[in-house]
């Protein structure tokens, strides 16, 4: 009786798949990047500055129309500034720390580690943690913006770039080989050497939330494939069965009657009408084979 249930299987598959539909639509309508997180950008772009230097932090994120406020956090504590830009006019040691911001409709941003230094020479980087493919910019910067030359950049103690005048360098496409501790040295009145700065470059495996977007498609795909295979199998089985019963009516009267009854019964969409009709169908072929022999 498997063949009779093929349409039932179809509707079963639909019933399984239908509850997924709202979920699917929800996922289709949500963009891939996390849209609810605020983001801090720095102007100038360096997370390391000398004391007394200026830096502006800007908070970008979703807001209500007409609202331009932002909440700022330093080392986890809310600070009084509520403007979208946080100005540091002359950085002091106590301006160092972990900054986060949040707009009215956003989640808190990723932290930015700002550090105010006191030294002769400073290697400035545009960030401390990168994902493969992101650009990394660095600058060999002297106290009071004094002019330096014969600049050498080092990664893990090994010189990798020399420039007579240019104290800035960009790696447009970072990969994990750019992970490490960087420093620089440069000539002013003397040769100065900066402290080391640690830069992390992470591999670009899709983060977990990407899988949450992909997984439902995968599940629906597998269900669909499974359903299709099942339907094809059932159809094949049904055809095979039908072929077998059609081969049988070769012989005498009563057998013929039974077979044509079965055929009629199939013709009516396979709905068993009389009592025992199902049993008849189930047991009919073996019986027929027995009576077939003269």
Least Cβ distance, residue 175 to ligand NAG (angstroms): 4
Regarding 95 and contact with ligand NAG (CB under 6 A), the answer is yes
Regarding 260 and contact with ligand NAG (CB under 6 A), the answer is no
Nearer to ligand NAG, 91 or 142 (CB): 91
Regarding 131 and contact with ligand NAG (CB under 6 A), the answer is no
Question: Which are the contacts of 204, defined by CB distance < 8 A and separation ≥ 6?
Answer: 131, 132, 133
Residue 181, SS3 per DSSP: strand
Burial of 148 per CB tally in 10 Å (0-12, 13-18, 19+): buried
Least Cβ distance, residue 133 to ligand NAG (angstroms): 10
Indicate the length of the chain as a whole number: 294
For residues 46 and 114, is the Cβ–Cβ distance under 8 A?
Answer: no
Question: 96, 102, 109, 194: which one contacts ligand NAG (CB under 6 A)?
Answer: 96
Site for ligand NAG, residues 97 to 126, rule: CB under 6 A: 97
Which of these segments, 45-53, 169-177, 220-228, 276-284, binds ligand NAG (CB under 6 A)?
169-177
Question: 12, 92, 198, 228: which one contacts ligand NAG (CB under 6 A)?
Answer: 92
Nearer to ligand NAG, 16 or 176 (CB): 176
Least Cβ distance, residue 50 to ligand NAG (angstroms): 15
Pairing mode, strands 197-202 and 129-131: parallel
Q: Across the chain, how many H-helices and E-strands are there?
A: 5, 17
Backbone angles phi and psi of 202, in degrees to 5? -95, 145
Nearer to ligand NAG, 82 or 218 (CB): 82
Which of these segments, 90-98, 190-198, 219-227, 255-263, binds ligand NAG (CB under 6 A)?
90-98
CA distances from 107 to 10, 57, 206, 227 (A): 44, 17, 21, 41
The site for ligand NAG (CB under 6 A) is made up of 74-75, 92, 94-97, 171, 175, 177
């Amino acid at each position: 009786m498997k063949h009779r249930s093929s349409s039932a299987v179809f509707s079963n598959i639909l019933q399984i798949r239908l509850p997924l539909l709202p979920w699917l639509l929800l996922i289709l309508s949500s963009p891939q990047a996390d849209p609810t997180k605020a983001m801090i950008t720095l102007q100038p772009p360096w997370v390391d500055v000398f004391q007394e230097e200026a830096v502006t932090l800007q908070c970008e994120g979703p807001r209500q129309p007409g609202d331009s406020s932002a909440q700022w956090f330093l080392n986890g504590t809310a600070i009084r500034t509520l403007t979208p830009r946080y100005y540091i006019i002359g950085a002091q040691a106590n301006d160092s720390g972990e900054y986060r911001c949040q707009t009215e409709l956003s989640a808190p941003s990723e932290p930015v580690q700002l550090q105010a230094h006191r030294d002769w020479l400073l290697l400035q980087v545009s960030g401390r943690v990168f994902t493969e493919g992101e650009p990394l910019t660095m600058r060999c910067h002297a106290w009071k913006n004094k002019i330096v030359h014969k600049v050498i950049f080092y990664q893990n103690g090994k010189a990798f770039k020399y420039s007579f005048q240019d104290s800035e360098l960009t790696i447009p496409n970072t990969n994990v080989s750019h992970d490490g501790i960087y420093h620089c040295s440069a000539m002013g009145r003397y040769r100065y050497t900066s402290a080391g700065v640690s830069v992390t470059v992470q591999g670009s495996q899709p983060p977990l939330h990407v899988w949450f977007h992909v997984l439902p498609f995968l599940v629906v795909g597998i269900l669909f494939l499974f359903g299709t295979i099942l339907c094809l199998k059932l159809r094949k089985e049904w055809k095979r069965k039908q072929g077998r019963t059609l081969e049988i009516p070769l012989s005498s009267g009563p057998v013929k009657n039974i077979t044509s009854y079965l055929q009629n019964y199939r013709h009516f969409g396979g709905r068993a009408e009389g009592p025992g009709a199902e049993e008849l169908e189930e047991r009919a072929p073996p019986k027929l084979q027995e009576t077939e022999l003269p």
